[in-house]
Structure 1
Amino acid sequence: MASWYAIRARGTGAEVAIYDEIGAYGVSAKGFLAELGALPEGTPVDLRLNSPGGSVFDAVAIHNALKRHEGTVTVWIDGIAASAASYVAMAGDEIVMPENAFLMIHDPAGLVMGTAEDMRAMAEALDKVKGSLVSGYAAKSGRTPEEVSALMAAETWFDASDAVAQGFADRLIEPVRIAARFDIGRFRNAPPVLVEAVEAEADTGEQTDAAAPEVSEATDEAAEDGQAVDAEGDEASAPDAPQPPAETPPPSGAPPDPAVIRAEAIGHARAVIDLCRLAGQAQMAGRFLEEDASLDEVRTVLLAARAEAEPEIAPHHPQPGRSSAARPWGEIVARTFKLKG
């Protein structure tokens, strides 16, 4: 599975690039922490961010690892540092933003399926996570925890000037051309100028960020070194990493657009994860993605797993509130997934 980060030595320092969703689709921060920890003590680090966020737990782990790093950490927000990515940025000794970059903070969110106790446990966990995030944002910005908490609850977007004025960044530089092919629709308060920039980028399908080719080069070098991360976060050899299915070249003979292939792979992964969460089997998503299972295969396996976990209630084993006309669980799930065949 492709990594969402790249770390490489550059002169007397090291460059770390996070240009995707943090911890995306089963790839945890374990490999990131291992590579960061392998850098010589005192190595200056340039962290380049262009990310919509991702796993808050991975982000907290990355933030803490960067804070522990003996060398100077300079964070360059090349486009967007939203959600969990903004918390990673707070680990920088200096945070630099181009004038047209954005930083966003908001409350952590989670998904749970289960009893009322499960719901309460999730709420308590989210409250604890928010407390940790508030401390990090407040320590960097100098604002009170109450002020930061209110900004997070409102899903606050800062352009570069606002971020510097509010203490969330330290220095402005000249604007860059942003290449951000992220799903901004998940956020309720995304600035219109950012939405337009992302939509325009999606329409043209062109690489417009001056820093992007360098990041791609870093990722390629990592691949050449055999560095990949599997769904459990353990290092694996590149040949064993699953690859997306090959695309048939268009009739014109032109090569397939890498951006389109990547978007399709991400869309498929999201659909698999959503199906697993809906079926209460979130832990199975990593296996499906490793096996490159189709959505029909995923539905079939999930239905079978659910049927085994919760057998139909027979008439001789009545349950409160269940009538004799009630439909079995398997039929309900089948109708929910619209299973064909």
Structure 2
Amino acid sequence: MLIRHPGDIRPSEITPPEVYRARRRFMQGLGALAAGTLTGVAADVQAGVKLAGVRASAYTLNEDKTPYKAVTTYNNFYEFGTGKDDPAENVGSLKTRPWTVTVEGEVGNPGAYDIDMLMKLAPLEERVYRMRCVEGWSMVIPWVGFPLREIIRRAAPTGNAKYVEFVTLADPKQMPGQRTRVLDWPYVEGLRMDEAMNPLTLLAVGLYGELLPNQNGAPIRLVVPWKYGFKSAKSIVKIRFVERQPLTAWMKATPNEYGFYSNVNPGVDHPRWSQAKERRIGEFFKRDTLMFNGYGDQVAQMYRGMDLKKHF
């Protein structure tokens, strides 16, 4: 198993988001930008397209946001390579239109949603979340999306639905990292039903007010801010409601290192490094890791009575 340790991004290397986006839009050309503002966005022009009608959310932070360039060039997305800069370099092959997300399993209303139709199910809102990687680095990202529970309510889960499983795209032609055996593809993740229904759990379709870049999980990804980043599955194609706990990709690969819950917990170390401290991208000094990544008031009640060292 190859897992690279994070390097540091110096503040001097980070271009201010407004400058970076303006430069990129210029290179795309005015024609591509105009075409991208339509509901059906072509895959090759989606990055940088402004999302209309995004409303502010109560879920925000009084913390500096991680610069756009760092958010979009320093990524874990093994479908495009194991290096932090591999996703941004290799995602040009990913086509996100057309795209369908299938809802299936223990539900009364199964179905398939076109991504552009899915984006209209609920009002889009910007939520500024802390995101913590299991490797020890963190970011503050202004995501754009809607609560996962909006889809869950429409799906009408049966009494047998105890968990929600997320299956991501498996296509080695588009995702060169899937030509390796670093994981057993497709990437699978899962949440307990109460976790999936928690108001914090987001289906993100954008960041910084724009459509989600490919390297960040386009066209739709999960965001679970109180868990380590690998729980937030990218490029989702199936949402399954199941009775038994899903066997996730990382549990299948190394079960002694990656548990099902994967809550941010400074008191439970990874077998190969401590989780007590973290380095915010762009900062030199490390800071203390917060229990549940600082979202304990919203989520701690779901784990009351559980041994979080055993159920890591």
Give the TM-score taking structure 2 as reference length: 0.26
Higher relative contact order (CA 8 A, sep 6+): 2
Greater helix content = 1
Q: Which structure carries more strand by proportion?
A: 2
Compute the TM-score of the two structures, normalised by the length of structure 1.
Answer: 0.24
